[in-house]
Chains A and B, each alone.
Chain A
């Protein structure tokens, strides 16, 4: 860490503020740490999955200031002052009620192994936030960066369309 650089990173994750000390070693944010790494290893938010770890599969998708980003391609030190939402941040923290989009995935069995599901839900969440009533082609396009090998795509598209206009983009 160069002299004069801030000694901590401040960011908000799922509505909670964090000030993470910079530097090497346990509990610190290293210069090379990706946001995915910090979320999983530093904050224990393991719902964000790492699969390819180079920006090709979408498993690590989270929201940054409401937009879908690949947390394996972002350095945590780049996220100063940002608002991050992960899959753990979608359900109502007080009641535990699922987000309508999550509930729609449950109702449509829009997953098989479930490993890619958090990333897909976050991509869909960003879509619905920007475009609450997408048509089918817009859903396909918005999810085209998400790798799913079980081929749950068809049920996913049904689930996203069913949640659209129902508060899935709140």
Chain B
């Protein structure tokens, strides 16, 4: 194995000191001269036409600088398809923006918002995905009859995937030893819930040039996607450190549009930071996923067909739901090798807080419903789920339709060894006693084990660009539009450059995340940071190095190919004692600027398997997560502590705990969310940490110079279905909904009355 200087070695993050001293400037800490504060008045009813809005009281309040309603707000549109107005004449969920206020202080803005008088004409509301599809159901949008969105994800091309249909299901049915039919729902709409709520400052430099500072996960994409939607000729986007996102702060128009509209109206910079209740009740939750499917299987675990109807509840609008459907459909094929598919999707709107992008991106939501139905087949075949997943996870040479609708063939690695080593570390063979059989019992307590899997070929999605500038003094600067959202990726790209250039890590820095400085960057999503962003940065460093050697070669009278560099010194290979510093070739002015671009590649799916052990108290119905073992193969670790942090993230950000305690609870009589605070929304505390271990293999992958791919985004996705399986085994009853709160478990055990699905 290659011995690296920085790659694979733990190094402190470059922002570490600022983080531990409280000096890291998050968006909420920023102040601009003359800055106003924005506030959103939100609907108190789930579905209504706005009959009238009276803003006179708000405007009369001293300190108020602008009040916007559907009468005077710019006609900018968000959503995919484009259909969400900043403010509309109709409200579609409790929390839908109704008016925007900018004032000199937060308190005045809040007071003013409360003075806006709104008269509603109530409409009937619908929350359940199938009720929304029923004839006569309340209709949310005139343009989407039946509450169904048309398929299509323009950014993924004209053939964007929205279903998995190929092969011959009838043939698969004939070839099956048996067929199972099932229904499973993962629709408790958990919230990824970063600690920092959505935050932005917008300022207009002139009538059509805007600058946006935001805690966005992909600041460069704001410029690309929003400038046109806002009709802005100039759009500068500056990224701030992101206080958690987990996908949810990627699209960002939900907070950028209101701030920019107010800033233009008030002719002053406007800061808009959501409150925690707004964050919980009116910002990105997971999509609701309900699946009815049939699966054909042979006794050896071969899947002969999968057919089904995937109902996707996106709430009051679709932020990027067709994108999640596309990637979810792609990812299902990575986990289930099958020649015959007929899995159709429908994206449906309902009168609840809208769903948007979250880590797991459609794949977690589909898999959490699909794997339990497959488990029923495994149970019938009497096959161990680890053996089943090993047989059926995508292998080199296997193909799949990816998000663009094209057929891609895996040229990655066989992850069977990672599965075996994970199973061994977990002690799977000792604990697995068969389907719906506890692995141990003591008094009222039952232990059970379960396993889940996930993978994503988006590690190579979309385009990244980077420049690397070498200065004569032996330092390097990376020009990248990458925002730091917690993975340490801004430090990791410096590690990659330091490794290529063989200079101390301290001599490599990254430019501020600012579109006025940097080339295009799609952003760190879909675990693409390591391969895609890293690939662009590495290419830029190598390009800069070629320029350096070309400039230095005449000094040595050799060809550039004979040169090497180390510590900012260049020498002829094998003669380091005759080294010259970069400055001798570059002179005091001659910086080298290398350029790198990564182009999409969907042939290297990553992989994550999670083993869980739970203990259920059959008297109280409480299920405790006892132990988690993750298994993956990343090709090459870039930063060991950062990687382990990301893998530990399987518990947080609407991950494993969506199977145990996490849910957004709606009162469907009023359409209101009942747990929009951090006490009633349940989250795991330090005092309840399960034992956690990870098996991380490093089988070199054909990605880039360092043979690595990322896995951070997929850490959460295999967990919930693994816990569902573990609890089912512990209590001897097959469960098919989330989360497994004590009431659901006691009902399944027949200890309290009621049907499954009732709360």
* A interface, CB within 8 angstroms of B: 40, 45-54, 56-57, 59, 86-88, 90-91, 98, 102-103, 105-109, 111-118, 121, 139-141, 143-157
Contact = CB atoms under 8 A, between A and B. Distances in A.
A151 B652 contact: yes
The B interface is mostly helix, strand or loop, or mixed, namely loop
Nearest to A46: B29
State which size class the interface on B falls in.
Answer: 35 or more
Contacts of B193: 149
Contacts of A112: 244, 486-488, 642, 645-646, 649
B242 interface: yes
A48 B651 CA distance: 25
A121 B195 contact: no
13 contacts: A40-B29, A46-B26, A49-B26, A49-B195, A50-B28, A88-B23, A105-B16, A109-B642, A112-B244, A116-B195, A141-B687, A149-B194, A149-B683
Contacts of A144: 685-687
A143 B13 CA distance: 23
A88 B21 contact: yes
A72 B652 CA distance: 24
B16 A115 contact: no
> Top 3 A-B pairs ranked by shortest CB distance?
A47-B22, A115-B243, A113-B486
Contacts of A103: 20
Given A113-B194, A148-B652, A155 B644 contact: yes
Given A113-B243, A153-B648, 18 more contacts: A46-B22, A46-B29, A50-B28, A52-B677, A53-B276, A54-B677, A56-B677, A59-B195, A98-B20, A106-B12, A106-B16, A106-B20, A108-B641, A112-B645, A118-B20, A141-B687, A143-B686, A147-B195
B307 to A, nearest CB: 37
A163 B745 CA distance: 42
B485 interface: yes
A13 to B, nearest CB: 13
Contact of A154 (B243, B275, B692): B692
B593 interface: no
Contact of A150 (B645, B683, B686): B645
Contact of B21 (A91, A149, A154): A91
A111 B19 contact: yes
Interface of B: 10, 12-13, 15-17, 19-26, 28-29, 192-197, 241-246, 275-276, 485-488, 641-642, 644-646, 648-653, 677-679, 683, 685-687, 689, 692
Contacts of A151: 645, 648-653
B195 A149 contact: yes
B281 to A, nearest CB: 13
Contact of B686 (A54, A90, A146, A155): A146
Contacts of A153: 648, 686, 689
A115 B17 contact: no
B21 A113 contact: no
Contacts of B10: 109
A153 B196 CA distance: 17
Contact of B678 (A54, A108, A148): A54
Nearest to A33: B107
A110 to B, nearest CB: 8
A105 B20 contact: yes
Contact of A152 (B22, B245, B645): B645
Nearest to B12: A106
A109 B653 contact: no
A112 B19 CA distance: 9
A16 to B, nearest CB: 16
A102 B17 CA distance: 8
Nearest to A88: B22
A138 to B, nearest CB: 11
A140 B137 CA distance: 50
B11 to A, nearest CB: 9
Contact of A115 (B13, B194, B678): B194
B241 to A, nearest CB: 7
Contacts of B13: 106, 109
A154 B194 contact: no
B22 A86 contact: yes
Contacts of A143: 686
A110 B19 CA distance: 10
A166 to B, nearest CB: 15
B648 A115 contact: no
B244 A149 contact: yes
Contacts of A47: 21-23
Contacts of B652: 148-151
B645 A52 contact: no
